């Protein structure tokens, strides 16, 4: 993953940082089409990973593979596959109180503290959110390679391994990743 680190650093340097007063051409944070596509992916990846970079990358890639197989856009797959979005679809009362803030995040260059932020230093989470957004942009633009091409599911040990799958290594992730279901897995 050394190439990925170089790409991330270049992206962080290339994209203007809040407060610098730069007005880039083609700003990905002001394009509604990019936001519509990328926001559900970034919200899902943050909710499922806590912003841990190896997990964000692997999760976004898994969503993309699942979307291709289903013939739907990755944003729609994120809405169908990620708990935060499934809970939201069932109604606001189904989203756990301490996670509502994730759905209040927007696709914008700077992010104000969400109204339901549960506490703690927002500035630290704002940086994690920005990094998650940048990772999503790098993945959907093809700049970051899939760290685990065989992965098709993720979860925790509590979730349990999906049937007829086998464990897949995605590097230093906190989540567990598994293959597509198949014979002999």
pLDDT for the residue numbered 20:
41
Q: What share of the chain has pLDDT > 90, as a percent? A: 78
Residue 182 pLDDT class (50, 70, 90 cuts): confident
Residue 176 pLDDT class (50, 70, 90 cuts): very high
- What average pLDDT does the segment 155-176 reach? 95
Please write the tens of the pLDDT for every residue from 49-62: 999 999 999 999 99
Residue 24 pLDDT class (50, 70, 90 cuts): very low
pLDDT for the residue numbered 26:
74
- What average pLDDT does the segment 125-147 reach? 96
Domain boundaries, the chain: 33-146
Residue 183 pLDDT class (50, 70, 90 cuts): low
Answer yes or no: is pLDDT of 6 > 50. Answer: no
CB within 8 Å of 102: residues ≥ 6 apart? 43, 46, 47, 84, 114
Cα–Cα distance, 114 to 30 (Å, whole number): 19
Largest distance between two CA atoms of the chain: 56
Geometric angle at alpha carbon 169, from 54 and 45, rounded to 5°: 35
Answer yes or no: is pLDDT of 7 > 50. Answer: no
């Amino acid at each position: 993953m050394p190439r990925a680190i170089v790409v991330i650093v270049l992206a962080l340097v290339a994209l203007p940082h809040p407060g610098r007063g730069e007005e880039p051409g083609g700003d990905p944070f002001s394009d509604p089409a990019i936001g519509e596509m990328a926001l559900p992916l970034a919200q899902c990846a943050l909710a499922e990973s806590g912003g841990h970079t190896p997990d964000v990358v692997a999760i976004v890639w898994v969503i993309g593979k699942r979307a291709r197989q289903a013939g739907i856009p990755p944003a729609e797959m994120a809405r169908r596959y990620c708990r935060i979005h499934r809970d939201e679809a069932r109604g606001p009362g189904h989203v756990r109180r301490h996670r509502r803030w994730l759905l209040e995040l927007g696709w914008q260059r700077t992010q104000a503290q969400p109204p339901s932020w549960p506490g703690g230093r927002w500035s630290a989470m704002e940086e994690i959110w920005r990094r998650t957004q940048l990772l999503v942009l790098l993945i959907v633009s093809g700049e970051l390679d899939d760290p685990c091409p065989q992965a098709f599911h993720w979860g925790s040990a509590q979730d349990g391994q999906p049937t007829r799958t086998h464990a897949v290594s995605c590097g230093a992730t906190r989540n567990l990743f598994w293959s597509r279901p198949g014979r002999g897995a």
